[in-house]
Amino acid sequence: MTATSELQARKTAAVSRGVATRNIYAVRAENAELWDAEGRRYLDFAVGIAVNNTGHRHPKVMAAVAEQAQAFTHTCFHVAPYESYIRLAERLNEITPGDFPKKTMLVSSGAEAVENAIKMARAHTGRSGVIAFTGAFHGRTLLGMALTGKVMPYKKSFGAMPAEVVHAPFPNEFHGISEAEALRTLEGMFASTVDPERIAAMIVEPVQGEGGFNIAPAGFLRALREICDKYGIVLIADEVQAGMARTGTMFGFDHSGVVPDVVTMAKGLAGGFPLSAVTGRAEIVDAPHPGGVGGTYGGNPIAVAASHAVLDVIKEEDLCQRAAEIGEKIRARLSAIAERQGMECIGDVRGLGAMNAFELVKDRSSRAPDAELTAAIVAEAEARGLILLSCGTRYNVIRLLPPLTIPWDQLDEALDMIEASVEAAVQKTAAAA
């Protein structure tokens, strides 16, 4: 029995079936590389699902964590607060979009950030309704599930969702939903489905993550801002996956110039340590009564120290610019592959900065999804030593999330693996047909 098969057997016996995993049991990682229990090396194009934007174990992050561990690891900010939390709040207030007074709270996960942002919006407006979008992902908690616009695996079999959460269409030209149509439907909902004066918040991702790396058009975000202003609705930017330099700017909303009222952050915020944040207009973030928001581990000092180091690294190593350069290289290579004869299975190549994806279809005329080919490409890549993730409501999108610190030769190596994986999967699929 191999080390991996033994671990797999133990996992099956001891861990909840609902916790899905891959058979890559990590033992060591460094920047863009990861080694498994068999000693096999992988290039990591998942990085903990966009968490390690600064790479695995960035030296400055590890040094900051080690230094903080020598002081204290946990006091609970509600019991014995500490300066580093306050300073991180000040930094996030400064770098998030908008030139107005802001405040911040820290928690531990993206779902927590989203839930607290909704609580703040409800407390501020005195309303309870929330608008999210088809294809959205906002977490696995009860409210997070309700806000999420993808049934399987996130909502199926988990019963009734919280009330007063409605989904509007997210524009997707490739799937036949224009920006104008999405906006018309949203406005129509105010006449037929939900009273806009009962809506506390509208939450939107600048680039949908689980939904398929669908980019929100700048005009669409501007229109949402106008609608929210018209009806007194709090506009929440879910930057959990798109933030922290991933798209080539600090936040995905920066590409549109639209300023949200509240921003939720997590994933890349702390370089592999659990930390999330809600930052927004001071009057909104201040709306809950004292004690109404928070959590035992929220703003853990180890994670806060890591986050300070991450923000330093993003600035010092100009990771926004590097993300843009990485993205240009990835999209150019993917587009070249898609243009080759026999590669008509690649229906679309899209992305912002280093948040890129390609969508697999049975043919470019019908654009029918090819989930089987998608899974085959992911498996072929893994066999070659590259970790990829799929996404999309039709399970036919492969997303590419290299660390923003990946060496150029390793990026080239990974792109070669992707090309070889697509070729092999296409050939095997054709042979089996």
433 has a pLDDT exceeding 80: no
Q: Where are the domains of the chain?
A: 3-57+318-432, 72-316
290 has a pLDDT exceeding 90: yes
Q: CA–CA separation, 431 vs 400, rounded Å? A: 27
Tens of pLDDT, residues 235-269: 999 999 999 999 999 999 999 999 999 999 999 99
pLDDT of the residue at 430: 82
pLDDT of the residue at 223: 98
Q: CA–CA separation, 229 vs 301, rounded Å? A: 37
- For 227, the 3-state DSSP assignment is helix
pLDDT band at 432 (very low <50, low <70, confident <90, very high): confident
pLDDT band at 1 (very low <50, low <70, confident <90, very high): confident
Tens of pLDDT, residues 292-347: 999 999 999 999 999 999 999 999 999 999 999 999 999 999 999 999 999 999 99
| Mean of pLDDT values over 139-143 | 95
The mean pLDDT of the chain is 97
140 has a pLDDT exceeding 90: yes
pLDDT of the residue at 200: 98
Q: CA–CA separation, 32 vs 41, rounded Å? A: 10
Portion of the chain with pLDDT greater than 90, in percent: 97
pLDDT of the residue at 37: 97
* CATH code given to domain 72-316: 3.40.640.10
Unique residue bearing structure tokens 């409501």? 393
pLDDT of the residue at 431: 87
| Mean of pLDDT values over 46-72 | 98
DSSP 368-420: -B-HHHHHHHHHHHHHHTEE-EEESTTS-EEEE---TT--HHHHHHHHHHHHH
- Which sign, positive or negative, has the C-alpha torsion 220, 396, 425, 400? positive
CATH class of 3-57+318-432: alpha beta
| Mean of pLDDT values over 368-372 | 97
Beta-sheet strand order (sheet of 234-238): 102-107, 276-281, 262-265, 234-238, 199-204, 129-133, 165-168
pLDDT band at 169 (very low <50, low <70, confident <90, very high): very high
Tens of pLDDT, residues 380-394: 999 999 999 999 999
